[in-house]
Structure 1
Amino acid sequence: MDQIKIDAQLDFAKKEIQIIQQITCYNLTGETLDTIYLHNWPNSYKDRNTPLSRRLIEDYDKSLYFAKKERRGHTDIKSISTDFVSDKWEIDKESPDIIKVLLTNPIKANDSVTVSLTYVVKVPDSRYTGYGTKNNTYNLRYWYITPATYTNKWELMSNLNMDDLYMHPANYTINFEVPRGVVLNSDLNSYKTNSSFNTIYHLSGEQRVDIELNISLLNEFETFKTDSLNVISNVNGTLLDHNLKTDIIKREVLFINKYLGSYPHKSILVNNVTYEKNPIYGLNQLPKFLNPFSGAFEWDIKMFKALTRKYLENTLLVNRRTDSWILDGIQTYLMIKYVEEYYPEVKAMGNISNIWGIKSSAMAKLNFNDKYPFVYQFAARQNLDQALATRADSLSNFNRKIVNKYKAGLGLRYLDEYLNDSIVTKSIKQFYTENTNQLCSSNTFKDIIIHKTDKDLSWFFGNYIHSKKKIDYTIKKIKKTNDSVYLTIKNKRNFTAPIALYAVNNKDIIFRKWLTGIDSTATIAIPKGDYKRLSLNYEYLYPELNLRDNWKNLKGLFNKPIQFRFFKDVEDPYYNQVFYNLYADYNLYDGLVIGPRIYNESIFKKKWLYKITPLYGTNSKKLIGSFSLVYQH
């Protein structure tokens, strides 16, 4: 196990950390190494030419590019040596946050080397990445130099504001000196000693990665004690008392332990920065003055997301730059399950869904968990989505922060429903318990789950993960005989996946049957029964491009009933929607022209759009208007 010892002293006025560090790392590559690499992410703020600065520009953030020198961060390296021998080291101009150390004495396989470093870190302003200093508070993450991880090659990566440094676990000993009266928060084992002017925090932890610290004049963190874990957090919430928050945290920890397993350390630090960089989208976009959600629900769901993120990132050591979907999927899956269990009645719009004039809309009827397929379908219809296996630094922010996380979680829920017998939940727990504090990947999870079922999962670990192909099936026609119903199902895309067929009577499910292997067209027979309609994906258990043509009515003229809605709404796949509103205009010849505007354009993109506007002119006494039919590719 690698050993990292750090003696650090914070100069509060200069916003600098003086560091003397020793890294004892082991050569487990199986070959002799004459070069090692270190990640120097504190130096990623040094000027406008760093990968971080360029990345922020791509995200339309010019704050670091135009920042004054005193607001930037950098690393001033005084010396680097190995086993007390000075070595040559290089920093590439294009990647100033990566150090290449040329070893005077190469390291043989299974031997170790101690790298000694002396350097000063200038702490950047927190406005760039959320980490740094602001108003006498220091949120420190990636604040020290770390050894690069070696798998079958050196896993080198620059800081791109994605909080995804791939680190090997190590045993830490840290002595951090701060001015007297300043508070330091961490989730390491700690005690402190005082002198006349300073306080030294003595921190230690085994098998740890990514040591995050908060240093401030005013302690905003609370410690929530549960039977198995102490949660140290400053996640913003409403005016909930400490006891209620503790009860919520206890429930969250029990839930996570049930689905994953116990956390390997005594404490976990959950900084509000973690949540703010990956918030609950939809929760923070609604107007606060409307109070759409209860204070308990809002804090619970925010805390649960931040807690699960830190829980997973601190224990499952996946390369999140190249293999991000597995942790994203597990976290979103846990979010879905948590809301299903404790908040099944909460709507996506919160209490706004009860307002007169809104509550009858399809949007108001969406449950909180319905936002996941809703957002994915929106991105897929607009062709904005990207494959789950896409490198994180090649994803758009929309996909990296939202769409791909949702698709990954929906994929695990899809597998859960298809495989049944709790195979997915058992596989997730086994994946966690067998790989805690170890380097692992999504292939590790794949090996676990495919050995728990005889069903073919190549479609999931192939097209679902590695392509942006969409699932889209339709019922083309039905034929009834005395005792059976024959239905022809067509695969409209080039993605063959399991699909769910339902027999429905007045929204009650009579039966559900999984169908596989339909790559083009297939006709199947089902027995007649007490049902009126047949539907594909009735419960929306898997993300599908188009749900509108998934219905056939056995006993009526229309496959779905017609529904009239005043103004545009989200799609309701259970109805043929017709939207209308009032149109009025004026011209000299016709005078006031007035009438209804009837159309089918919803929030989601459709191939065929129609608009009918019959109008009456009060001067001309004539019926006028317009009609349009548009095809959108």
Structure 2
Amino acid sequence: MRLTGMVFIFLFFCVSSFSQQTYWQQHVNYIIDVSLNDEDNTLTGFEKMEYINNSPDTLRYVFIHLWPNAYKNDRTAFSEQLLKNDRTDFYFSSEEKRGYINRLDFKVADVTVIPEETKDIDIIKLTLPTALAPKQSVFISTPFHVKLPYLFSRGGYSDQFYAVTQWYPKAALYDKDGWHAMPYLDQGEFYNDFGSYKVSITLPENYKVAATGMLTVTEAGPTLKKNATPDKTTKTKKPFFPKKEKEEDENIPSSFKQKIYTYSADSVTDFAWFADKRFIVKTDTIQLSTHIVKASCYILPENAEIYANSIKFTKNAIRFYSKQFGEYPYPTVNVVSAPQSVKYATSMEYPMITMITESSEMEVDATMAHEIGHNWLMGILSTNERDHAWMDEGINTYVERRYREKYHPAVDEKVKDLDLSGLNGSGVHVLLNTTMGLKKDQPIDLTSDAYSEFNYGADVYEKTADWMEYLGTVVGKDTLLKIAQRYYSNFAFKHPQPDDLKKTAEEVTGRNLSSVFNKLYTTGAVDSSKIKTTTKFRFGIPGFNEKYKYITLTPLVGYNNYDKVMIGGMIHNCQLPLQKFQFLIAPMYATGSSTVTGAARLSYNHFTKRTWLETSVSGMHYSINDYEDEYNPKLFLGLIRIVPSVKLSLYNKDLREKSKWIFQLRSFILNQDELNFKNVTTATDTFDLAFKEPNHSVINQLKVTYENNRKLYPYNANVTIDQGKDFLRIGFTGKYFFNYNETKQGVTARIFAGKYFKLNNDNSFSSYKTNLNMTGPKGDEDYTFSNYFIGRNEFEGWQSQQIMERDGFFKVRTDLLGEKIGKSDDWLVAINLSGDIPDKINPLNILPFKLPIKLFLDIGTYSEVWKDDEAAGKFLYDGGLQVSLFRNCLNIYFPLLYSKVYSDYFKSYIGDNRFAKNISFNINLDVFQLNKLSRDIPW
């Protein structure tokens, strides 16, 4: 037994030693011939790759990325991610703007292989005819045809600007963790093998080309017949191109010349190229200690002014990053300016070349440095960006901060505070701190597709840069520089992992840095010592600043028909990041009523990862009516409204989702002046003396809401229960938006169902105000005083035509005389439709300006029309035109058709000018709420 045990131990150590292989990585070399057809935006090519298996494993298959297929339809991982990130442009794009790759015919060692499909259409699996043993290689070849997409993301076309990226069949990376076969995503980059590339690009001779690598050959190409596909006319110097059928060239008129550009690149992970007829090319050289680098900038005429110093910026970036890590090893560096018309494409890096999309010189400089810096952090230190994006983007953002400090040290702090345009504006950093305060941030080290869109930028870029700053405070800035240089020296042209960076840092410092690196996997502030607690006073508008807690005095102006212009100020501590305790006090002087009006609000907020609990109390005082006659001076009837409230927001545990539940319980404590009269007799006259008397009431409200603010087909629903001394109301409201296209056009469908309960036999006018309404209620029917009305109790003139979105929300009004049509103290149901006129059929598009006209239609019924003695129709309707202004804050309605009961009413009571008097309008200030302005941050 003892001998057997010793043998077992010996064998165990032998096996363990054998299994602990030294570092290895695969190598893939590519030779590609490709032609661009700029008439149909297609590529036709042939590719031969040499796949070298340096792993200790025998491989029986290879995964191939066919990333152009990500643009093939709206069911790909790319399309689904765009929708989660509130982009519908690709979902609604035409077939012409979409892309794909086809005409594939894979051969492995000259044996035809039929690829297997995977769950993602931009990934295939090639089973090898013969297993690939360690240290062996295999040649894989295929023709291919690519329909380039519009420039929705990193690659594609815009007019005749071409960004040809992620365009060829590419082997997925295999490492110690297995295959990394990943679908193309807009949010989340890549993980590629190193290799050499030889790429020949054929295209019309009037194009200029920028590409990865060195241009080794430029030669005249064949004469291409107009409308012919390039692969059927290119004849020579393309050793891997399929044979052409001569007869297919016949009878095609109008030829034009082509040119062939051949590029070579070694030790790179990808190959990208850009082409445009208009490029202004600037070139220069950069002398480094070991070699000379050729620098080239390809500038579109529209960008000439802001790229005037682009060569200088390129030189600065190469030298700066060389000092941070190690000398730039490649022979060339290229910068391409993108068209300003491209809406969604962002600046993006590839080996030796980058595309820049900024629109100011300072941001061009900083972004060029950032993207050129990716040659070190991505190109040379080739980390797994899909799983550990921070190792590339975040560390690079930290170095970019140092670059900005050197070359742009005097940027005004106020400008920085309001800068939300780029990931490095301090305004974005304020939003990061806001999400951390709300506990809606995410750890630094997650897979790219696990982040919400905002957190991908805020946590992966900004918070990682904060983490690097923190690491620098722990080890010292000079030591941090040594860590970066050692890390680069150890892992250049390799695939380092997070633990490799940690081990390097600990080797350089001789310290255990686990506590620092553990912060990569937690939420919250990286360095809590930097959170400012100092309070300062300031005058102005609320802003973005994380240096202090401000108490701000802000000028304020208000208006209503009774108080007229109200002038005052607002003292508050409202700012970003949000504070747990918030207050707002806004006194104003009313020029019309000569009284002090105003509002105040106090709230305390408690945040957890999935909840926001707000306890608050608010108060308002303003005039709601006035009265005067020949015997009485003008009286102003006021309102004091106090609202204690408890509100709980419950968020989806997946922060990429835009859904949440909201539970709110509040009471409306109302003290309103009511007009009364008493008879007064004098020696000369008898008259009614008008006076005010207070009326106290309390209405309790429970509101439960579910909403999903996704960009495609958003919806919400709520149940509201209102209870007063004399009534109980239960109302359900649901809304659904049907998108037409990516321009926010569509149809909003609203449904309301309400039930009313009398708690006594009170039939007073105050009880009548709380009944269910088929028409949108007027100001005097807003019994909780929750909406803003210009003339709350007006019954004549344009101010009387304001309605609120509640109950049946019909746009026709029957409140002029007599009993209101559609008023119910039992039940009521209504459907409201409001839709944009599609651009394709909108005759008003011929106008030189955009007229925001919609169509509306309302259909409803209520209990009274179902009674046996009711002669009117069972269902009411109205419809017409709607003009929506100021982001739907102001909506004006022009009823053009309606039920006969309404028509009869208008003929009997309105008289002349019925059309103008029947116009109604709605003011919706909710569109300016902070949580409406930012859809991605779940506030």
TM-score, normalized by length of structure 1? 0.75
Deviation at 1:377, TM superposition (A): 1.1
Asked if the contact 2:546/2:577 (under 8 Å) is kept, the reply is: no
- Counterparts of 1:289-300 in structure 2 under 5 Å? 295=361, 297-300=362-365
> What CA distance in whole angstroms lies between the structure 1 residues aligned with 2:385 and 2:556?
51
Q: Which amino acid aligns with 2:42?
A: E
Residue 468 of structure 1 corresponds to which residue in structure 2?
Answer: 523
- Equivalent position to 2:392, from 320, 324, 327: 327
User: What's the secondary structure of 2:56's corresponding residue?
Assistant: coil
Which of 418, 437, 448 is equivalent to 1:392?
448
Q: Cα deviation per residue 1:77-110 (whole Å; 9 max; x = unaligned)?
A: 3411111112232122x31111101112111121
Q: Report the RMSD for the aligned CA atoms in angstroms.
A: 3.2
Q: Residue in 1 aligned with 2:584?
A: 611
Residue of structure 1 equivalent to 2:275: 215
Matching residue within 416, 419, 423 for 2:479: 423
State the partner residue of 1:479: none
User: 1:154 Cα deviation (Å)?
Assistant: 0.2
The amino acid across from 2:539 in the alignment is R
**423 and 371 in structure 1: CA distance in 2 versus 1, 3 angstrom threshold:** farther
Query: Any stretches of 5+ residues in structure 1 without a counterpart?
Result: 354-361, 472-496, 500-536, 552-559
Cα distance change on mapping 1:277 and 1:221 into 2, 3 Å: farther
Equivalent position SS for 2:385 = coil
Q: AA paired with 2:143?
A: T
**Aligned residue type for 1:73:** G
Q: Helix, strand or coil for the counterpart of 2:483?
A: helix
Residue 52 of structure 1, aligned match among 78, 94, 107:
78
What is residue 845 of structure 2 aligned with on the other side? Answer: none
Contact 1:225-1:246 at 8 Å conserved across structures = no
In structure 2, what is the Cα distance between the partners aligned to 1:597 and 1:241? Answer: 44
Q: Which amino acid aligns with 1:10?
A: L
Question: Residue 47 of structure 1: CA displacement?
Answer: 2.0
Q: Give CA deviations for 1:320-342 in whole Å, capped at 9, x if unaligned.
A: 01001111222111121112222
1:605-629 Cα deviation digits (max 9, x unpaired): 1111222344556787766655432
State the match for 1:76 in structure 2.
102
Alignment of 1:383 onto 2:383: no
Q: Which residue of 2 aligns with 1:201?
A: 261
Question: Residue 373 of structure 2 corresponds to which residue in structure 1?
Answer: 308
Is the 8 Å Cα contact of residues 131 and 139 (structure 1) preserved in structure 2?
yes
Give the Cα separation in 2 of the matches to 1:96 and 1:619: 68
State TM-score, norm by structure 2. 0.52
Partner of 1:239: 305
Question: After superposition, what is the alpha-carbon deviation per residue over 1:214-248, rounded to whole angstroms, capped at 9, x for unaligned?
Answer: 12333344334221422333467562685x44333
Is residue 2:169 matched to residue 1:145? yes
Q: Secondary structure of the equivalent of 1:432? A: helix
CA distance in 2, matches of 1:134, 1:240: 20
Aligned residue in 2 for 1:99: 124
Measure the CA separation in 2 of the matches of 1:154 and 1:456.
Answer: 32
- Aligned match of 1:474: none
Alignment of 1:108-507 (within 5 A): 108-126=133-151, 128-152=152-176, 153-162=178-187, 164-190=189-215, 191-197=217-223, 198-228=258-288, 229-234=293-298, 237=303, 239=305, 244-273=309-338, 277-278=345-346, 295=361, 297-350=362-415, 370-371=426-427, 373-420=429-476, 422-462=478-518, 464-470=519-525
* Higher RCO (CA 8 Å, separation ≥ 6 residues): 1
Whichever residue aligns with residue 114 of structure 1, its letter is: F
Q: Say if 2:36 is the partner of 1:10.
A: yes
Q: Structure 2 regions of 5+ residues with no counterpart?
A: 1-26, 224-257, 349-355, 607-939
Superimposed CA distance per residue, residues 514-540 of structure 1 (whole angstroms, 9 cap, x where no aligned partner): xxxxxxxxxxxxxxxxxxxxxxx4xx4
1:61 aligned to 2:87?
Answer: yes
For residue 314 of structure 2, give the secondary structure of its aligned residue in structure 1.
helix
In structure 2, give the amino acid aligned to 1:66.
Answer: F
What is the rounded CA distance, in whole Å, between the counterparts of 1:38 and 1:337 in structure 2?
A: 39
State the Cα distance separating 1:306 from its structure 2 match. 2.7
Identity between Structure 1 and Structure 2 (%): 21
Once residues 260 and 405 of structure 1 are traced to their aligned partners in structure 2, the CA distance between those partners, rounded to angstroms, is 19
Secondary structure of the equivalent of 2:68?
helix
| Cα separation, 2, equivalents of 1:307 and 1:596 | 49
Q: Which moved more, 1:440-449 or 1:151-160?
A: 440-449
Q: Which residue of 2 aligns with 1:488?
A: none
Partner AA of 2:305 in structure 1: L
- Greater Cα offset, 613-622 or 438-447: 613-622
Contact 1:33–1:108 under 8 Å retained in 2: yes
CA distance in 1, matches of 2:211, 2:603: 59
The letter of the residue matching 1:302 is: T
1:572: Cα distance to partner?
A: 6.3
Q: Which moved more, 1:569-578 or 1:384-393?
A: 569-578
> How far off its partner does 1:146 sit?
1.0
Which amino acid counterpart does residue 344 of structure 1 have in structure 2? P
Q: CA deviation at 1:144?
A: 0.5
Kept after mapping to 2: 8 A contact 1:223/1:232? yes
In structure 2, the partner of 1:534 is none
Q: Judge which range, 5-14 or 571-580, deviates more.
A: 571-580
Measure the CA separation in 2 of the matches of 1:263 and 1:599.
Answer: 52
SS of aligned partner of 2:287: coil
Residue 216 of structure 1 aligns with an amino acid whose one-letter code is D
Q: 1:255 to 1:235 in 2, by over 3 A?
A: farther
Residues 557-584 of structure 1 show CA distances to partners (whole Å, capped at 9, x for unaligned) of xxx5x52423323446456624343455
* Letter of the structure 2 residue corresponding to residue 55 of structure 1: Q
In the aligned structure 2, how far is the partner of 1:102 from the partner of 1:285?
41
Q: What is the deviation of 1:458?
A: 2.1
User: What is the CA distance between 1:434 and its match in structure 2?
Assistant: 2.4
Larger Rg: 2
Letter in 2 for 1:407: K
Mapped partners of 2:52, 2:386: distance in 1 = 24
- TM-superposed CA distance for 1:56, in Å, is 2.2
Deviation string, structure 1 residues 124-156 (Cα, Å, up to 9, x no partner): 222x21411222232100111111110120011
Separation of aligned partners in 2, 1:396 and 1:427:
31
Q: CA offset at residue 303 of structure 1?
A: 2.2
| Cα distance, 1:172–1:587 mapped onto 2, change above 3 Å | closer
Deviations 1:571-600 (A, max 9, x none): 464566243434555675x78765443222
For 1:331, the aligned partner's letter is: N
Change (3 A) 1:70 1:341: closer
Which residue pairs with 1:567 in the alignment?
541
- Other structure's SS at 2:473 match: helix
Aligned residues: 524
Rounded to whole Å, the distance in 1 between the matches of 2:333 and 2:573 is 51
Q: How far apart, in 2, do the equivalents of 1:238 and 1:124 lie? A: 26
